[in-house]
Every structure is written in structure tokens, then in C-alpha cells.
Amino acid sequence: MRAGARIFSDGRSPKTLASLAADRRAARQMRRRHDRVLKRMARFMDGLVRFGLLPNDDGERLALSALDPYELRRKGLDEPLIASELGRALYHLAKRRGFKSSRKSKGEDENEAGKIATAIIKTREQIKTEGCRTMGEYLAKRHAQRETVRARTTADGKEYLLYTQRAMVAEEFDALWAAQSAHHPNICTEEARAFLRDTLLFQRPLLPVQPGRCIFEVEEFREPLWSPLQQQFRVLQELNNLRVIDGLEERALTLEERNTLRDALYRYVKGDGNYCYDIYRLDNGKWGGDVVDIYTANRPGFGLRSKEAYKSGKPLVMRLRQGDILKLEHDGRYKLMCVAQFSDGKIIMSEHNEANADARNRLRKEQARKVQDGDDVRVDESFQYLQKSPDGLRQLAARLVGVDVLGYVNDTGFKA
């Protein structure tokens, strides 16, 4: 044992204790994930029973498990199913709802995400090559040929044979529902579709990462890098480190020179680097908006103007920042949208559970460019940013909502 190594009275080293703590955290995360899956499936089952797609009796539901769900998913695209058969197919769809992109830490997780992305692309190509319309139809064909229908890696573990994407599940749900709603108009209602689809595809928002402790004030947490106060500190730190070289002499900036450069830097505003977007009510009842840059937000008195927009002086409806969650009514149902970025005249949003929106948007643009160049590339139309003006948000009954750690939405209602 090296000199100075710490050993506790029971013989365990600090490294052992840290490893045990990490194992406990991983076990808690697995239990939480398992509990969430059980709750989601129970909610989906209750919905199927409530809307008449599955029988209320446990024995009758158990008898339906003898049916081949893959065959039902294939058959439901062209032929009428009885209500319980459709419920069985949808329940099977909910049990294997596919991969949804999420933020990954660097290292092995990046390789795993790359393997999954490659497998999804290959799976879509295989579906197209086989002439299948949905993932379920493709799996039914493999199932009939006694081939694997689960995500399995090759013998060397370098790639997956096939992989289901959440977007594929959404596409199949819509296709099944559209095909069967003509045969069951009293059961396949819009209320049932909205409830089941939302339960099937729901993914809770990611929790914010807690910053570490400050090395100077150990009782306080560090400011996040996106914090205006942290950005101001970094600007001043870099300016204080600058030196003016005049011949062989070197000197620091004077206070006046430093402040001049500071003000010039604060006035430079990027479209995705602004502090907030003030949305206010105009005299005619419509909504207008102004972008507030970081320099303005850090000027004295900005925080005191909480009930009126900073630039216009009009009554403030809400103050939007990147990452805020908006609840709005879009395409006939309520949606939770996350503010991705904003600039003068428009607010750009993505689905609240889309953790990789920027990457998917870049990929979609790249695919569209390749199509214009004549390449045979499929453009992923399953993702697209939603862009709205301030008054466009009013027309969608938009309002700021809070989402707690359990995923519950705190909505105070729309205030026109």
C-alpha cells in the first residue's frame, strides 16, 4: 500500500465507497425506469379498456395473448380487425416503442449512439427494399420466416442487425389507426387517438444538470456557463488578461480601455445568444415581442421591470428564455414545446422530449441538400422546428408551464 493511502476502520478504501455509491445510483435509476415503464403500460391498458379496444375481464384479455401480434399489425393495414384485435396490436406496439434520441456523455456512449443511428438507417432501407409500409409489416415478414425481430448485435458486436426508432412506431400507429377508424368509427374517436398516441410516445423532459460547488464559496453552487453573470465574468476575465505590446514594453489595459471593449462585446448579439424574448400585449389585443440581449439584461434596473416589457413599456405577457417549456394547442391537440432559439419576429421551438433537435435539424438540411444535388437520399420528415411569431403564439393559446422532477405539468391556464 502506498504511503498516505486512506483506509476506513472496516477496511474499505474511498475508491471502494465511491464505487458502491455509483452502483446504488445506477440501481435507483434502473428501478425508476422500470416503475415508469409499468406505469405507462398500465395507463395505456386502462385507455384501451376505457375506449372499448380491450375487454374489461382479465381472463378475456389473457386469452388475446395467444394471438400473433406481428400478424395483427400487418393485417390491420389492409383488413378490418375486431376491436380487441386492434387493441392487442396497439398494446404490442406500446411494449416495444423504439429508440428515442437522448443526450449522451462522451466516450463509449457516443460509439453506441453511432451504432444505433447506423442500424436505424439500415433498418429503414431494409423496410423500403422489402416493399413494406410500416415497421410492423416488416417484422411480421421476418417473424414468418423465423428471423429475429428484436434488436440483436452481430457475432462480433460491432453493429445491430435491426433497430426500431420511435418515429417508426409513431408512423405505424397513425397508419393502423387511419386504416381501422373507417371500420370502427364509434371506437376510434379523436379523443381515443389523442390519449393513446400521447401515452405511447410520451417521454419526460430531461432534468437540468446540477453544477458543482464553487471552489471559493464551498456552500454555493457554480453558475452555469449559460448564465449571464458567468458570461460577464468570463468576458471581464479575458479582458483583464489582455496585454498591449508597444515595442519591447507590455502593459495591461486601462480601466477605460477595458470598459470600452467590454461594452463593444456585450453589444454583439447572435441569434441564438440572446438573453430572453419579451412578449407584450399591444393596444389592439395582439401580441408583440422584442429580443433582449445579454448586455441589456445586465444593465442596472432590468430585473426590476418584471411587469412590463423592457423596450416597449407595454404589459408583459411572458418572458421567454432558451429551454423554457410552452404549452400550446397545435393541430387540434395540446403540445409541450421547448424554446430552442429566437430572433426578431419569431420563436423557434421543438417537441419538449426531442433532446437532439439541433443535430436532427442539421441532418435534415444535409439530406435535403443531397437530394437537390441528385443523390438518392431519403429526407427525414419526422422532425421539423415549429416557428411562430409572438401573435402566432397567442392564436395557439400559448403559455409558460413548469414541469417538476416527476414529469407533472404545472399549468395556470391561458391568459389572453
Predicted TM-score (pTM) of this structure: 0.51
For residue 346, what are the contacts with CB-CB under 8 A and spacing of at least 6? Answer: 387, 388, 389
d(CA 80, CA 161): 32
d(CA 309, CA 291): 10
Judged against a pLDDT cut of 70, whether residue 318 lies above it is answered with yes
Q: Of 49-58, 112-121, 191-200, 280-289, where does mean pLDDT reach its minimum?
A: 112-121
Which residues are paired to 252 by β-bridges? 243
Q: Which cell goes with 414?
A: 391561458
Given pLDDT bands bounded at 50, 70 and 90, which one contains residue 287?
very high
Judged against a pLDDT cut of 70, whether residue 108 lies above it is answered with no
pLDDT of residue 240: 92
Helix 14-50 to helix 83-95 angle, to the nearest 10 degrees?
Answer: 170
d(CA 281, CA 314): 6
Judged against a pLDDT cut of 90, whether residue 84 lies above it is answered with yes
- The pLDDT of 327-339, averaged and rounded, is 84
Q: Which cell goes with 406?
A: 416527476
pLDDT in tens, 5-15: 555 555 555 55
d(CA 278, CA 293): 11
92 close to 45: Cβ distance less than 8 angstroms: no
pLDDT in tens, 221-272: 887 777 777 778 888 899 999 999 888 889 999 999 998 888 777 665 444 4
Q: Which cell goes with 175?
A: 397508419
Given pLDDT bands bounded at 50, 70 and 90, which one contains residue 355?
low
pLDDT of residue 377: 66
Q: Which cell goes with 77?
A: 393495414
Q: Of 96-100, 163-167, 214-218, 308-312, where does mean pLDDT reach its minimum?
A: 308-312
Instruction: Using alpha carbons, select from 92, 88, 24, 41 the residue that is nearest to residue 60.
Output: 88
52 close to 82: Cβ distance less than 8 angstroms: no
DSSP state of 33: H
User: Bigger pLDDT: 204 or 259?
Assistant: 259
Neighbours of 59 (CB within 10 A): 7
DSSP assignment string, 67-79: S-HHHHHHHTTTS
380 close to 404: Cβ distance less than 8 angstroms: no
pLDDT in tens, 35-72: 888 999 999 999 999 999 999 998 998 999 899 999 99
d(CA 93, CA 175): 12
